[in-house]
Amino acid sequence: MQQQIIDIVDRVIGERPESLSANDLDRDLTSVGMTSLKMVRFISLLESEMGIRFPLETLHSDNFKSIASVVNIIEDLQKRSV
């Protein structure tokens, strides 16, 4: 799941000198070029490509601050749906 999220972040952010890696899981996404508009696209791609829906109450910045925080919220959502 981490690599899939990294790939989506790289696509959304676009041209960068280097791709994100597993070493960047805790890196603030705004520091790598994530803007509010790109975040909307990122969330949309996560939902469509991972087959999940983010409830309104999960859509706050702390849940999307880093790749690690995104992994955590997705794992929580998957546990709830079981």
User: How far apart are the C-alpha atoms of 78 and 50, rounded to whole Å?
Assistant: 11
Query: Taking the model in full, what pTM does it have?
Result: 0.89
Q: Could you list the pLDDT tens digit for every one of the 82 residues in the chain? A: 899 999 999 999 987 767 788 888 999 999 999 999 999 999 999 999 999 999 999 999 999 999 999 999 999 999 987 6
Q: If you search the block for the tokens 């603030």, which residue do you land on? A: 28
Question: Which CATH number does 2-81 carry?
Answer: 1.10.1200.10
Cα gap 21→75, rounded to integer Å: 20
